[in-house]
C-alpha cells in the first residue's frame, strides 16, 4: 500500500522534481486580452510558512500578507492559499516544480487546507477554456466551470484530474512533483472555476487564460502533449501533503 503524503511542511531544507505529460486546453478573455498567466509568484516573501491567503492579490486588492499583484479582475475564495515551492537548498513544503517549466514560476502555487474545493472568480467572464499545471500523487481532483460566480448558474464543463507521478530529483526534496499540464474547453461565458480535491492534497500553478497550453511562452509543450487533450476529460485522483507517520 502507498503511504499517503501531504503537501504542506513547515521546515526549510532541500527540494526536487521532474515533469509528467498530460492534457491542455484553451481560454480567451473578453475584449481581445493577451495571454494571461497567474503564476502565484511574489504573493509573499520566499520562503514562507504556507499561511498566506491569495484573496484579492489579482483583483486590485491585496493578499492576506498585504501584497498587491497585477489587477486581472480575478478573485479567489477565502480558503485559497499560497504554497511555498521547494527549490534547491530550500525546503518549505512537500511540493516543487523541480526546475521544470517557466524558470520565473518556481516558488509559489495555489492550494487549500480547508474544505473540498476553492473557487476562482472572474466577474467579466471568459470563454473557450483555460489551462494550468497541477500535481496530485494520491487522490483524484477535479475542475468545474460555471457561468455564475462561486460555482453558481449552469455547469459549462467538468474535468477529472488523474493522480500524477512522484519522481523528483532528490535535490528538491518534494513528493508532490512534477506538475502536469491540463486544460478544458467549453461553450458559453464562464465566470467561475472550482478547483476541487482533498484538502492539502492537490496543487495548481500557472493558471492560463488565452492559450491551449499553460504558460506557453517560456516552455512550449511538445506536440505529443497537445495530442493528449482528450485525456483531460477522464477521471482520476490526487493528493499533495505528506502525512506524518
CA distance from start to end of the chain? 14
Q: Tell me the pLDDT band of 103, cut-offs 50, 70 and 90.
A: very high
- 147 SS3 class: coil
Query: Which cell numbers in the block locate residue 98?
Result: 523541480
Lowest pLDDT segment from 38-42, 62-66, 122-126, 141-145: 122-126
Q: Measured in whole angstroms, how far is the alpha carbon of residue 145 from the centre of its chain?
A: 15
Mean pLDDT confidence for 41-54: 98
Q: Hunting for cell 487533450 — which residue is that?
A: 229
Quote the cell numbers at residue 152: 453558481
Counting residues of the chain whose pLDDT is more than 70, the rounded percentage is 73
pLDDT at residue 227 is higher than 70: no
Q: Is 133 helix (H, G, I), strand (E, B) or coil?
A: strand
Task: Please give the pLDDT value at position 126.
Answer: 84
Q: Give the CATH number of domain 36-219; options: 2.60.120, 3.40.50, 1.10.1870, 2.30.30.
A: 2.60.120
Q: How high is the pLDDT of residue 101?
A: 93
Q: What would the mean pLDDT of 198-205 be, rounded to a whole number?
A: 98
Lowest mean pLDDT among 50-59, 156-165, 209-218: 209-218
The cell numbers describing 110, all together, are: 495555489
* d(C-alpha 179, C-alpha 160), whole Å: 16
Reported as a single tens digit per residue, the pLDDT across 135-158 is 999 999 999 989 999 999 999 889
Least confident of 40-44, 53-57, 127-131, 205-209: 127-131
Torsion of CA 73, 74, 79, 82, to 10 degrees: -110
**84-88 mean pLDDT:** 99
Kind plus residue range of the DSSP H or E element containing 108: strand 108-112
| Half-sphere exposure (Cβ direction) of 16: Cα atoms closer than 13 Å | 11
**Segment among 88-97, 129-138, 190-199, 210-219 with least mean pLDDT:** 210-219
Task: Look at residue 157 in the predicted model and tell me its pLDDT.
Answer: 87
What pLDDT score was predicted for residue 217?
67
Q: What residues does each domain of the chain span?
A: 36-219
Lateral strand order in the sheet of 141-146: 74-76, 117-126, 190-196, 141-146, 155-161
At residue 224 the predicted structure's pLDDT band, cuts being 50, 70 and 90, is: very low
Higher pLDDT, 4 or 235: 4
> With contact defined as beta carbons under 8 Å apart, do 22 and 221 qualify?
no
The confidence band for 107, taking pLDDT boundaries of 50, 70 and 90, is very high
Q: Sign of dihedral through CA atoms 93, 97, 98, 102? A: negative
Residue 119 reports pLDDT greater than 80: yes
Amino acid at each position: 500500500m502507498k503511504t499517503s503524503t501531504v503537501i504542506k511542511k513547515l521546515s526549510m531544507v532541500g527540494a526536487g522534481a521532474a515533469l509528467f505529460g498530460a492534457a491542455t486546453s484553451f481560454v480567451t478573455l473578453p475584449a481581445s486580452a493577451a495571454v494571461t498567466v497567474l503564476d502565484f509568484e511574489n504573493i509573499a516573501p520566499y520562503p514562507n510558512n504556507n499561511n498566506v491567503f491569495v484573496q484579492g492579490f489579482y483583483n486590485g486588492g491585496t493578499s492576506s500578507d498585504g501584497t498587491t499583484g497585477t489587477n486581472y479582475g480575478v478573485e479567489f475564495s477565502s480558503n485559497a492559499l499560497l504554497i511555498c515551492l521547494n527549490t534547491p537548498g530550500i525546503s518549505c513544503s512537500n511540493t516543487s516544480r523541480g526546475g521544470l517549466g517557466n524558470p520565473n514560476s518556481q516558488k509559489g502555487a495555489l492550494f487549500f487546507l480547508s474544505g473540498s474545493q476553492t473557487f476562482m472568480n472572474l466577474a467579466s467572464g471568459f470563454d473557450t477554456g483555460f489551462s494550468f499545471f497541477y500535481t496530485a500523487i494520491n487522490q483524484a481532483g477535479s475542475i468545474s466551470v460555471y457561468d455564475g460566480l462561486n460555482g453558481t448558474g449552469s455547469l459549462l464543463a467538468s474535468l477529472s484530474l488523474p493522480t500524477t507521478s512522484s519522481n523528483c530529483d532528490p535535490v528538491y526534496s518534494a513528493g508532490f512533483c512534477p506538475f502536469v499540464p491540463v486544460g478544458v474547453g467549453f461553450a458559453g461565458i464562464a465566470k467561475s472555476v472550482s478547483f476541487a480535491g482533498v484538502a492539502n492534497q492537490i496543487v495548481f500553478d500557472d493558471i492560463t487564460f488565452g492559450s491551449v497550453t499553460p504558460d506557453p511562452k517560456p516552455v512550449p509543450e511538445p506536440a505529443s502533449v497537445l495530442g493528449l487533450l482528450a485525456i483531460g476529460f477522464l477521471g482520476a485522483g490526487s493528493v499533495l501533503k505528506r502525512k506524518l507517520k
